[in-house]
Chains A and B, each alone.
Chain A
Amino acid sequence: MCFVQNTRGLRSQLKDSVPVTGLCPQAGPYGVQDSLRRGFSSVKNELLPSHPLELSEKNFQLNQDKMNFNTLRNIQGLHAPLKLQMEYRAARQIQRLPFLPSSNLALDTLRGTDDTIGFEDILNDPVLSEVMGDPHIMTEYKLGVL
């Protein structure tokens, strides 16, 4: 019976966090902390997630896809997820310039999320973000010449 409200403060939520290595990979291209691009590092930032849900939310779409592919493999055989993954890979390549937000419409249609609304459409919509990366820097980074 849910008659006691769950009013856990943020402090207690942090205690539930499990340290995870590789949460924010700090090593740059030469194996050292890239202070110029990523700022100063701290061990706590690297190990502890700031919220117990942060990890699961970051990987949610990936995990859903993996689960769906597994089910599909069990039902229809190996060819089905292979073909679908090829299509996903092709759809993922349809992007606008690196500093502009892409609609990912083909990818959404493949996943079936083009007719669902979730928190990613309501909160922090990248189309409405107030900051934008510097176009020159971002294209250079994408092309690898930075």
Chain B
Amino acid sequence: MATVSVCKYYPGGFSFDNCKRNALLEADISKLGFSSPAARKTGTTICGVVYKDGVVLGADTRATEGMIVADKNCSKIHYISPNIYCCGAGTAADTEMTTQIISSNLELHSLSTGRLPRVATANRMLKQMLFRYQGYIGAALVLGGVDCNGPHLYSIYPHGSTDKLPYVTMGSGSLAAMAVFEDRYRPNMEEEEAKRLVRDAIAAGIFNDLGSGSNIDLCVITKGKVDYLRPHDVANKKGVREDKVYGHPVTGSYRYKHGTTGVLTKTVTPLNLEVVEESVQTMDTS
């Protein structure tokens, strides 16, 4: 009789019932020499910069599972609200769900206040949630947007600390991107210069870090307008199979061009044939 269920009340949210079982399983598996499957991460380069009229966010597009590229073109710039976007590094599922939850909460909040949401609100919600889970939610975020007080840019670490800065980078390629920023950032840039700076920073991460790769996505947020440029730059073009050579489809075709084989000698022997019999057979067309 399942009388255990009489006393337990399941309130919803995270359930830690399987944790002990999982720890035992992991110990057994590692004793046998295998390793448990790795979570999909976005070993990443994400960055953001504040320029004269707003904020430019940039991200690469590679998602990894251990040493394998799981997604060559994933989207790391997530929507939070019409004027706020957030780039996410760390465990892919964590960044997705976190940004979606905060986006929903911010929408409800803005409906309740009747105003456009502020970046500081999103920042506060994110940091309180991440601190509550003590870093077990592996989401490192770059949050940027433009609200009534101007453009803002925050970086949020998985344990819940945040920084408000004019330029930030996160992810495994953050050092490469930060090197580019430290060299070329200056306050109050123009939009084209800011876009070029972010593009170069992400490219530095893509080419110097194994965890980042593929294309460069940009998101330019200004007061009243958002430009989501995906992809802004295809830095790593995948090779194209040679489909047509000299106008003939080459894949699976063994036709060679006339003159491929050189002709050395040519001998013509006419065959003299005698006509022995000639008969006409009418076709039956009835």
Contacts and interface: CB of A to CB of B under 8 A. Distances in A.
Contact of A6 (B22, B138, B171): B138
B108 A137 contact: no
Nearest to A128: B12
Contact of B104 (A5, A9, A117, A141): A117
A81 B19 CA distance: 37
Contacts of A3: 171-175
Interface residues of A, number: 44
Contacts of B170: 2
B135 interface: yes
Given A6-B138, A53-B14, A11 B23 contact: yes
Interface in A85-130: 115-126, 129
Interface string B64-92: 00000000000000000000000001100
A1 B171 CA distance: 8
Contacts of A118: 13, 101
Contacts, number: 116
A51 interface: yes
B112 A10 contact: no
A126 B12 contact: yes
Interface in B31-47: 36, 38, 41, 43
A129 B22 CA distance: 22
A141 B112 contact: no
A53 B134 contact: yes
B158 interface: yes
Nearest to B174: A3
Contacts of B7: 37-38, 141
B263 interface: no
B14 A119 contact: yes
Contact of B158 (A6, A39, A54): A6
A115 B109 contact: yes
A129 B101 CA distance: 21
A10 B16 CA distance: 12
A124 B12 contact: yes
A123 B112 contact: no
A52 B16 CA distance: 10
B135 to A, nearest CB: 6
A50 interface: yes
B132 A124 contact: no
Contacts of A122: 97, 101
11 contacts: A2-B140, A3-B174, A13-B23, A50-B19, A115-B108, A118-B101, A120-B11, A122-B101, A124-B12, A126-B11, A137-B3
Given A53-B14, A54-B16, A118-B13, 19 more contacts: A1-B175, A3-B171, A3-B174, A5-B41, A6-B135, A6-B138, A37-B7, A38-B4, A50-B19, A52-B134, A52-B136, A53-B133, A53-B134, A115-B108, A120-B11, A122-B101, A124-B15, A126-B12, A131-B5
Interface of A: 1-3, 5-7, 9-11, 13-14, 36-39, 49-54, 56-57, 60, 115-126, 129, 131, 133-134, 137-138, 141, 146
